[in-house]
Structures are given as C-alpha cells and as structure tokens.
Amino acid sequence: MTSNPADAAPGARPRRPRHVLILGGTTEARRLAAEVADAPGLRVTSSLAGRVAEPRLPAGQVRIGGFGGPEGLARWLREQQVDAVIDATHPFAGTISFNAARAAATAHVPLLALRRPGWVPGPGDRWHWAGSLDEAAGLLPALGQRIFLTTGRMGLAAFAHLTEQWFLVRSVDAPEPPAPPHMEVLLDRGPFSVAGEAELLRGHRIDVVVTKDSGAGATAAKLTAAREAGLPVVVVRRPAAPDGVPVVPDPAAALAWLSTTLG
C-alpha cells in the first residue's frame, strides 16, 4: 500500500487517512488489521461482537459490541467517515454479514468479504453434511451415542432434546442453557494438535464428531484425528453469503482490493 502523491503537493492540505472498518473476530481479521495499521495513509478500526469474554485484540482502534442493525451501522459509517468495510467475521456470523451488506449499500461505502476456504473431505473421511444445526442433531441418533460437539456455545439449543446421547462440548467460554442434559464442558481455545485431539477422542470414548465448516487451520486437527480413528464427522455447511459482495480468501487479497479501491 502506497501513499497518494497528491498528499505531498506543495501548499496542499494534508489528506485525512483513509478509514477502514474491519468486522473481525477471526485470525484473518487480526492479520489484516496489523497490515492495514502499518500501511501509510490508512487507519483501521476493528469491530468485535463481544461474544467472547477475553478476545484477542487486533492492532489499531477496537470497538466492541453491536451497531444496532444495518441502520445503526450505516449511521456509524457516515459519522466515522469510513472509506471501506471488510467483513472478516466468522463464516457462520450470517446476521452481521447481511447487515453489513445493507449498511454499506445505504452509506455508499465499498464492501469486501474475507472468507477463508472451507474444508474439503479427503480419502478415508466419513463426513455427513448438514444444512443446519437442527439437521446435524437429527443425524446423531443413527451415528453414535458419545458426541464431541465443537459448534460453539451459541447453538446448543439445537441438541437439547437429545436425552439419550452424551456430549463433550468444547468452547472458548462457558455455554448457557438450553443444552443437552448429559454433557461435559471443555473450555479451550485452539490451535489444537492432531495428537492432542486423538487423545481427547480416545479418553472420552467419542464415536461421533460434530463441527461447522469454519475452515480454520487452528481447529482442523480434529478432522484428521477423526479420520485416523475411523469416526464419522457431521459437518454443518456454511450459510450463503450476501449477493453482490466480492469475496477473497486471504488477507493478502484483501490488501490488494484496498489498494485498488482506495487508490
């Protein structure tokens, strides 16, 4: 990213730094924020939803909490003179992505989605795809009784009616009810190793793994461990992205988009 030569013209008023809003919370969002914060002529604000008690804070300015829907976000974009928005939220954070699309269109601010590629099954994988958490829950009685649930703490209600199964639930923060009646909670944050995941599966006698297709490298080890153990994995598909929003797979491509969009 280079500065605009016009900024250095004799007698010209210094141009304000271009303001980039990153809707964050992911590893890619933190990497991108660090790059933008170091780029001349740019300033960055990262917005975090506030669902994690102790989030890993990115470089630059940080705001935590919601905007009040698409109307509130559009108002914030105008008030803060935002020049570009990058939606680098979790692939399953569907509500904020659609709010961002509406808000950016209303405020006439360019919007990009940064989405890491999803997981792809390989030889030996026993994956069962599901379109939602409810569909995933419906598959479990036919697959096993001891389930390793790694879909996050926000969606446990979809599994609360399963009274015959036992769940090992892993999340960063403690989940809240409704939840399955028979479960153990494991508070932990990735990255995880294949050896560690394999030991966890053996130690808890897991016979089914449930995950979302987050595509995160930090949590992919469970898929390898499940394949090596011959276990079935229920994978919840990602929700559709908003129409008309360009998508890139990594921070480098997002930086290139910023350079083109902001000149």
pLDDT tens column, 153-185: 888 999 999 999 999 999 988 998 999 999 999
Q: What pLDDT is recorded for position 8?
A: 46
Name the band, by pLDDT with cuts 50, 70 and 90, for residue 13: low
User: Spelled out in words, what is the top-level CATH class assigned to the domain 18-117+240-262?
Assistant: alpha beta
Res. 22: pLDDT tops 60: yes
Q: What pLDDT is recorded for position 241?
A: 81
Mean pLDDT of 219-244: 94
- At the topology level, CATH places domain 127-236 in Rossmann fold (3.40.50)
232-236: strand order across its sheet:
126-130, 232-236, 208-212, 146-149, 166-171, 183-187
User: Which residues, in sequence order, are CB contacts of 257 under 8 Å at separation 6+?
Assistant: 112, 246, 248
- Domain spans in the chain, listed from the N-terminal domain onward: 18-117+240-262, 127-236
Residue pair 127/233 in contact (Cβ under 8 Å)? The answer is yes
Residue (of 27, 37, 30, 26) closest to 58 by Cα position: 30
For residue 126, what are the β-bridge partners?
232
Q: What pLDDT is recorded for position 152?
A: 87
User: Which residues, in sequence order, are CB contacts of 95 under 8 Å at separation 6+?
Assistant: none
Name the band, by pLDDT with cuts 50, 70 and 90, for residue 7: very low
Q: Which residue has the tokens 């199964």?
A: 165
pTM above 0.95, yes or no: no
Reported as a single tens digit per residue, the pLDDT across 87-141 is 999 888 878 999 999 999 999 999 999 999 999 999 999 999 999 999 999 999 9
